[in-house]
Amino acid sequence: MTSVTLFNQIQVDQIRPQDLLPHRPPMLLIDRVIEYLPGVSVQAETFIKPDTMFFQGHFPGEPILPGVVLVEMMFQACGIFGRLEALNVVDVSSIQKDYRPRSGRAIKIDNMTFNKPVLPNDTVRIRAVFDHRMLNFSVFKARVDIEGRGLAAKGIVTVLINA
């Protein structure tokens, strides 16, 4: 299986989260985009490094990634989707070198449930499925799955995305 996946002419292995989000380490929580379906959804992936700063105090001797970090991953995936939609990207090379993403805002979290803990060395997949727009806000059904272990968290998130 090739690492290049095409969806409506888009090579997702060339989409770099840092080109679309204003976040930078340590708050850039998305490693790579693995699927983008224009008008429908985005799926991203992140490897949870054992030395991530969140494990230092949550909890010593029993590190668990805080749930709020999983929610932030969901918001960042929504930001990637929204910016790709706003830029009307058909070809990743069309993302201009001088494009500077503006920050968006997390607006609302609904029905969030946390099912399994995310641990060091886990790989997680974040999926955000566009549900609807309400004024300038976009509503997504989002989830985080742990590779090989199942659902970590899911809920509905509302964002304001500044393209």
- Give 87-112 pLDDT, tens digit per residue: 775 555 555 555 666 678 999 999 99
pLDDT confidence of residue 151: 98
Among 16, 32, 58, 149, the active-site one is 58
Count of CB atoms situated within 10 Å of the CB of 50? 10
Q: Where are the beta strands (DSSP E) in 57-116?
A: 105-114
* Predicted pLDDT of residue 88: 74
Mode of pairing for the β-strands spanning 6-7 and 105-114: unpaired
* Residue among 1, 4, 14, 5 at smallest CA distance from 89: 14
58 annotated active-site: yes
Architecture of domain 6-160: Roll (3.10)
Give the model confidence (pLDDT) of 11-56 as tens digits.
777 789 998 999 999 999 999 999 999 999 999 999 999 999 999 9
Q: What is the pTM of this model?
A: 0.88
